[in-house]
Chains A and B, each alone.
Chain A
Amino acid sequence: MSSEPNGPDEFDRPRADADATPCGYTEYDTKERTTEEVPATGEGADGLEREVWAALYEVEDPEMPVSVVDLGLIYGLELDDGAATIDMTLTYSGCPAREIILEDVEQAAESVDGVDEAEVRLVWAPDWSLDLVTEQGKEALREFGISVER
């Protein structure tokens, strides 16, 4: 290096544009929601329900090492005498992994002692967006290399 390094006060480090988003066509805004009911994450669940949530946490998106629960895709879980019904959405309507994810979720729920059958109901409202991802999920996405605002 031929020139002296700048001192810390002089060094004009480039700063990210506060309004910049990584992709102009991806919305990173937090939407106003009329309901606070989604996603469901199993917080506060106990007994058999807690065990089912633990099993669902083990299911990862086939394309990213992040739990479908942390992605905010699970909208509800109902248990009725050994039958589990899971309301779930997907990140994208054209998701080619749809059958794989749904099957994984049903199998995970059925792997729990006390659950005889599980059914996933696909729902499309309210819209899924990045702000439904849990803090833990955002951390996992960042580790995977996806830019998510803090």
Chain B
Amino acid sequence: MATSRSDLGAPDELSDRERRAVEAQLFRLADDEYVQAERYTFWQVRAPTLESDLAVANNAQDELGHARLWYDAIQQLGYSEESLLWESEPDDFQHSTLVELPFSEGEWGDAVLRGYLYDVAEEIRLAALEESTYREIRERTSRIQGEEDYHVEHAENWLRRMADDEEASRRVQAALDRLYPYALTLFEPVSDGQGDGDNGDVEQDIVDLGIRDATLAEMREEWETRTTAFLTDLGFEVPADAEPVTPTGRDNEHTQHWHDLHAEMVSSYRNLGRHEATTLMDDE
């Protein structure tokens, strides 16, 4: 896996081409984690046990922390927290549509399965970033992997228990049928921001420049193999020949659910008439 490609250098040393590819990688990392965390909060007061409340709250805090690390790296490239989040528009975001779907009350199986599908993809993606030629990605990856360790384990434990119960496994199966095509959008190409509908180059650049050492197709294949083996073993039926739904999210197009969540997310900032994101220790 070691690459002989040279290090891309500091944020202000990137060429236009390198910068475009670095940004394309960073935005999907940040937006996926951020929106996954926003949705997790639904379960903080609804999970079936106190321990699950805590586990979900902790997962959400982990993902928010990771989103912050990735948004920090994006801010080194000249963006502000305000423009990235509070003064953004819904179609600025490139997260997969899997993470923006709302939960229905009682569908704990959806939450567990979604966490599983997402976190396996996350593990595969982080592994492909370990040797990144961009230091700001490489160093954060190692830090985040340590904190992601137990997410998959938590989801797998729940899925094993649910597979033993008829009603629970029926619900997990229904969630699997529904969510699988959304999960596949995790491996779709991003829009390259050129607005010409040609997204091939930036995805190829991410791999050619050594920012990530696996292609989207390779990561998807590894994810399908791993999730299919585990879920099949528990008696679930993984949809065959599924294809990613559109919009994919990666192309800046989203379901109405994201537009609604985004409006909630920025409502306090807008209602308070804010023009900057303040922090606890501001002197002024």
Contact = CB atoms under 8 A, between A and B. Distances in A.
B66 A103 contact: no
A124 B69 contact: yes
Nearest to B63: A94
A117 to B, nearest CB: 14
B171 interface: no
A100 B65 contact: no
Interface in A89-128: 92-95, 99-100, 103, 122-127
A93 B279 contact: no
A25 B55 CA distance: 12
Interface in A1-57: 25, 27
Secondary structure class of chain B's binding surface, majority of residues: helix
Category for how many chain A residues contact B:
10 to 19
Nearest to B279: A99
A62 to B, nearest CB: 10
Nearest to A124: B143
B1 interface: no
A72 to B, nearest CB: 15
Interface in B6-31: none
B281 A99 contact: yes
Nearest to B64: A94
B114 to A, nearest CB: 20
A27 B65 CA distance: 19
Contact of B69 (A27, A93, A127): A93
A95 B65 CA distance: 7
A94 B62 contact: yes
Contacts of B281: 99-100, 103
Nearest to A125: B139
Contacts of A99: 279-281
B252 interface: no
A25 B149 CA distance: 9
A42 B62 CA distance: 32
Interface in B64-86: 64-66, 68-69, 72
Contact of A92 (B65, B72, B138, B280): B65
Interface in B82-100: none
Contacts of A125: 138-139, 142-143
A113 to B, nearest CB: 21
A26 to B, nearest CB: 10
Contacts of B279: 99
Interface of B: 61-62, 64-66, 68-69, 72, 138-140, 142-144, 146-147, 149-150, 279-281
8 contacts: A92-B147, A93-B65, A94-B61, A94-B66, A99-B279, A124-B142, A125-B139, A125-B143
